[in-house]
Structure 1
């Protein structure tokens, strides 16, 4: 019996972070002989970011396991409809319904500690006289809110190197919900102070995902990489014949 092609794990980072947030997960995946791609998400708009990740996926020959952390969960919800995506894995992420925005989903639940730590900064938009708005996290509050169980020195570096999210990303309605047609797994960070864990639970339960909970800060990939790798492997084993 011929075996399916080896899957490629595409790791999609979230807001206020970059692909280095997977630095402790990537070595474990590579050691297991998996192909790994960790693209830089523009973090400009949900529609644009999903289109970019979709373009990355389409250039991969073979099946894809699509992993999204935080805002990256919203991105994979849209980009995951690509034909070669065989499974979705959400890490402390947003699982949107078709037509739902990130702001709408989050607005149904009490705010997390993040709400009082956000910083808004204008940035120029090419071809427009109206500036956009970048959203970031106060660097002094970042470690406690975003990375409470991550090495403190690493958390300080992450705080000053964070990748902002344009406010537009909160407002874009999701044009598709890939979890309706793709097997999906969800990890809840139960000690999350960035996203209310109930937001994560609600999205996962609505999607009928296989769900696990980890007593972790928002950056579960750095705090508990083995748990993340195990969940990705579970998705691979369940969808690769």
Structure 2
């Protein structure tokens, strides 16, 4: 299924319903979208904090096989919700929620140390504009996927987590399709939906400077987490959950 056909109905309905301010009630539903190389289990701390705040939380396990597949996985989760939804994306998950966020159920977007593309931009384009400090850490597989060099994973992805945690994350990586790097964004939800951005102060995968610049472009409300690694959602779950709860309350 193409991204164009996936969004045709959603975009048309969104145009009829208008801006997210039309929502009559705060969002009670939160959908958490992981990035490349990891799965949804890293959201556990954020999940528990949000549930304690009375929110209904869904953690997506997208396949990282293509942008279209990943966006479809998020739409599948949105379909199961009753009422407004806050979409939350980490890292490459930012591109996913930018696309999926045009769904009329989505009331707000939260970018967590995430990429925030504009129309016509892909992951590769963003890293050309804002080079990654660990660009040389990706290792290709013979079948067109990418993995993070095990020897560089902790320093590049999760320097503020314990060695035991990062050893497990290193050995349980989810390969990401290399073709995702060149897949262009077709729909941009942040142009019409309230957006929030979390900057990881010591991010070595996406630089903090890049995060600030992309969030500014999206007119996002920015929260800084000094000293946090790219895995800020694991190392600082309460701070991340507080931003998500704020987005849900509007």
The question of a shared fold, defined as TM-score above 0.5 by the shorter chain, is answered with yes
Matched, 1:214 2:234: no
How far does residue 110 in structure 1 lie from its aligned partner after superposition? 3.1
Q: Is the 8 A contact 2:117 2:185 kept in 1?
A: yes
Matched, 1:64 2:63: no
Quote the Cα distance in structure 1 between the aligned partners of 2:49 and 2:131.
36
Quote the Cα distance in structure 1 between the aligned partners of 2:185 and 2:145.
20
Alignment match, 2:141: 121
Q: Is the 8 A contact 2:61 2:73 kept in 1?
A: no
Q: Is the 8 A contact 2:27 2:248 kept in 1?
A: no
Alignment match, 1:74: 95
Deviates more, 1:114-123 or 1:89-98: 114-123
Q: Is the 8 A contact 1:146 1:218 kept in 2?
A: yes
How far does residue 174 in structure 1 lie from its aligned partner after superposition? 0.5
Find the residue that maps to 2:150 and give its secondary structure.
Answer: coil
Which digits, 9 at most, give the CA deviation of each residue in 1:87-130, with x for residues without a partner? 10000001110111111111012331x2121110023xxxxxxx
Quote the Cα distance in structure 2 between the aligned partners of 1:107 and 1:79.
24
Quote the Cα distance in structure 1 between the aligned partners of 2:27 and 2:203.
33
Aligned residues: 226
How far does residue 48 in structure 1 lie from its aligned partner after superposition? 2.5
Alignment match, 2:185: 174
Find the residue that maps to 1:29 and give its secondary structure.
Answer: helix
Unaligned runs of 5+ in 1: 124-132
Quote the Cα distance in structure 2 between the aligned partners of 1:57 and 1:30.
18
229, 236, 239: which one aligns with 2:241: 229
How far does residue 39 in structure 1 lie from its aligned partner after superposition? 1.2
Alignment match, 2:112: 91
9, 25, 36: which one aligns with 1:4: 25
Q: Is the 8 A contact 2:130 2:207 kept in 1?
A: yes
Aligned pairs (5 A) from 1:147-186:
147-186=158-197
State the superposition RMSD in angstroms. Answer: 1.3
Find the residue that maps to 2:146 and give its secondary structure.
Answer: strand
Deviates more, 1:161-170 or 1:5-14: 5-14
Find the residue that maps to 1:23 and give its secondary structure.
Answer: helix
How far does residue 232 in structure 1 lie from its aligned partner after superposition? 0.6
- The TM-score with structure 1 as length reference comes to 0.90
How far does residue 69 in structure 1 lie from its aligned partner after superposition? 0.3
Aligned pairs (5 A) from 1:29-68:
29-68=50-89
Find the residue that maps to 2:198 and give its secondary structure.
Answer: strand
Unaligned runs of 5+ in 2: 1-23
Find the residue that maps to 2:121 and give its secondary structure.
Answer: coil
Kindly indicate which of the two structures has a greater share of residues assigned to helix.
2
Q: Is the 8 A contact 1:47 1:172 kept in 2?
A: no
